[in-house]
C-alpha cells in the first residue's frame, strides 16, 4: 500500500523503550521491517537491559539506532530520551511487545496530516493472544471521567469486548494509549514530555490532558491495527502495577485541574479511593488494598512534587477546565461499572 497522501511521505522516528525480552523485541522489529511505510528511523532506548538485548539488536537489526541508558528510567523516562534524540518532526511511540499490520503507519500519518491541531493519533489495539478481542491497554481510543478514572472503546475495567467493527469511526478521544501513537514532536516538547515521576502507567493520559489544555486534538484511526501483548512487563495483578495506576491517576487529577475545579472534585475522588479500598478488602484483593494505601501515602508525603506539576501545567494552559467538559465521560466510571453494571463502552456514550 502506498502512503495515503499525495505528497512525499514525511520522515518519522519510531521510539521504542525497552527493558529485557529479546523474543518480543525481535517480533516487534521484524514486524516493523515488513511495513509498507518506509520513510522512518527506529530509535531503541534500552533501559539497562541485562539479557543482551543491545548485542542482539546490533547483530540482527543493524539499522536500528540504540541509546543505552545506564539505569532503568521506566516507560516515561525511556520515551523522553528517545523523543529528545528523534530526528523527525513526527514521533511514533511504540511498545516493544507489539506486532502490526503492514499498512498501519500509512493510516496514522494520513490522519495526523488532516489537521494541524491534531497532536497525536492512536491505532486500533487488539490482543496479541486473541486477535478478535480488544487490547486491555488502549482498545480503540481512551476516555476519562472527571475523577480521573479511564475507560476505552472496547474495555471498561476488566471487561473486554470483541472487535466486531463497532468502533470503526475516526473520532476525537481524550487519550491515546502509550502502547502505540504517532505525535508531533513539537507539541510533546511544548507540553513538557512525559512526566518521569510516573515511571510507568497513565503517563500518556497525563501528557494528553496537558495537550488538551493547549487546545490540541487527540484522535483514533481504527484502520491502523496493532496487536499488543498486554501486561508483558508488569502483571496486571502485581502490587507495583496497581500502586502505579492508583497513584498516577490521583497525581494527574491534582496536577491538571485548576484550583477552583479541584475543590469539588477532590472529596469525591478521595471517597472513591476509600470505596475501592473497602471493596478490595471484602473481595480479598490485598494487593489492591495495599496499593491504594501506599498511593495515598505517597501523595500526602510529596506535596512539593504536586505543586511543581501544577506550576508546569499552568504555564502551558491556554483553555479553561470548562472548555474540557465535553471531553470527559459523564458520571463516575467506577460507580457505573460496579453498581450500574455499565460494562461496555456503548453504555457510556454521551
Give the tens place of pLDDT for each residue, 73-117: 999 999 999 999 999 999 999 999 999 999 999 999 999 999 999
Average pLDDT over residues 145-149: 96
pLDDT at position 2: 45
Structure confidence at residue 53 as a pLDDT band (50, 70, 90): very high
pTM over 0.85: yes
Separation of alpha carbons 322 and 25, rounded Å: 43
Q: Which three cell numbers stand for residue 201?
A: 502507567
Q: DSSP letters along 277-327, please?
A: HHHHHHHT-HHHHHHHHHHHHHHHH-HHHHHHHHHHHHHH--S-HHHHGGG
**Which of 33, 200, 236, 21 lies closest to 127, judged by CA?**
236
pLDDT at position 235: 57
pLDDT at position 6: 53
pLDDT at position 4: 47
Separation of alpha carbons 214 and 193, rounded Å: 13
pLDDT at position 184: 98
Give the tens place of pLDDT for each residue, 2-31: 444 457 899 999 999 999 999 999 999 999
pLDDT at position 5: 45
Residue with grid cell 500526602, as numbered in its chain: 300
Average pLDDT over the chain reads 94
Lowest mean pLDDT across 1-5, 40-44, 254-258, 321-325? 1-5
Give the tens place of pLDDT for each residue, 180-193: 999 999 999 999 99
In the chain, list all ranges with CATH 3.90.550.60.
12-228
Let me know: does 44 contact 69? Beta carbons within 8 Å.
Answer: no
Cα atoms in the Cβ-side hemisphere of radius 13 Å centred on 63: 11
Q: What percent of the chain has pLDDT over 70?
A: 95
pLDDT at position 1: 45
Give the tens place of pLDDT for each residue, 287-327: 999 999 999 999 999 999 999 999 999 999 999 999 998 89
Burial 291-305 (b: 16+ CB within 10 A, else e): bbebbbebbeeeeeb
Average pLDDT over residues 265-272: 96
pLDDT at position 290: 96
Structure confidence at residue 207 as a pLDDT band (50, 70, 90): very high
Structure confidence at residue 328 as a pLDDT band (50, 70, 90): very high
DSSP 8-state secondary structure symbol assigned to residue 145: B
Structure confidence at residue 179 as a pLDDT band (50, 70, 90): very high
The residues, any chain, with a CB within 8 Å of residue 203's CB and separated by 6 or more, are 75, 76, 178, 194, 195, 248
CATH of domain 12-228: 3.90.550.60
- Give the residues across from 155 on adjacent strands: 152, 160
Amino acid at each position: 500500500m502506498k502512503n495515503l497522501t499525495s505528497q512525499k511521505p514525511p520522515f518519522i522516528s519510531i521510539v521504542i523503550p525497552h527493558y529485557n525480552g529479546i523474543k518480543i523485541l525481535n517480533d516487534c522489529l521484524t514486524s516493523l521491517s515488513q511495513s509498507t511505510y518506509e520513510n522512518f528511523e527506529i530509535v531503541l532506548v534500552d533501559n539497562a537491559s541485562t539479557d543482551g538485548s543491545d548485542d542482539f539488536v546490533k547483530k540482527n537489526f543493524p539499522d536500528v539506532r540504540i541509546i543505552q541508558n545506564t539505569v532503568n528510567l521506566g516507560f516515561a523516562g525511556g520515551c523522553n530520551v528517545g523523543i529528545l534524540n528523534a530526528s523527525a518532526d513526527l514521533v511514533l511511540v511504540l511498545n516493544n511487545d507489539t506486532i502490526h499490520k503492514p499498512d498501519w503507519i500509512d493510516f496514522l500519518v494520513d490522519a495526523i496530516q488532516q489537521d494541524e491541531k491534531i497532536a497525536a493519533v492512536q491505532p486500533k489495539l487488539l490482543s496479541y493472544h486473541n486477535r478478535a478481542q480488544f487490547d486491555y491497554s488502549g482498545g480503540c481510543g481512551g476516555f476519562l471521567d472527571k475523577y480521573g478514572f479511564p475507560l476505552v472503546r472496547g474495555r471498561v475495567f476488566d471487561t473486554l469486548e470483541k472487535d466486531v467493527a463497532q468502533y470503526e469511526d475516526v473520532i476525537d478521544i481524550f487519550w491515546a494509549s502509550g502502547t502505540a501513537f504517532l505525535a508531533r514532536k513539537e507539541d510533546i516538547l511544548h507540553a513538557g514530555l512525559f512526566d518521569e515521576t510516573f515511571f510507568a502507567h497513565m503517563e500518556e493520559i497525563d501528557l494528553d490532558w496537558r495537550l488538551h489544555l493547549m487546545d490540541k486534538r487527540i484522535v483514533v484511526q481504527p484502520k491502523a491495527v496493532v496487536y499488543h501483548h498486554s501486561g508483558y512487563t508488569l502483571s496486571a495483578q502485581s502490587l507495583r502495577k496497581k500502586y502505579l495506576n492508583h497513584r498516577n491517576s490521583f497525581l494527574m487529577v491534582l496536577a491538571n485541574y485548576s484550583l477552583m475545579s479541584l475543590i469539588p472534585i477532590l472529596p469525591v475522588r478521595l471517597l472513591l479511593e476509600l470505596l475501592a479500598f473497602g471493596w478490595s478488602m471484602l473481595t480479598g484483593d490485598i494487593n489492591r488494598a495495599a496499593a491504594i494505601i501506599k498511593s495515598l501515602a505517597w501523595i500526602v508525603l510529596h506535596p512539593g512534587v504536586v505543586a511543581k506539576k501544577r506550576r508546569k501545567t499552568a504555564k502551558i494552559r491556554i483553555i479553561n477546565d470548562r472548555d474540557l467538559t465535553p471531553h470527559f465521560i459523564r458520571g463516575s466510571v467506577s460507580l457505573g461499572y460496579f453498581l450500574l453494571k455499565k460494562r461496555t463502552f456503548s453504555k457510556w456514550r454521551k
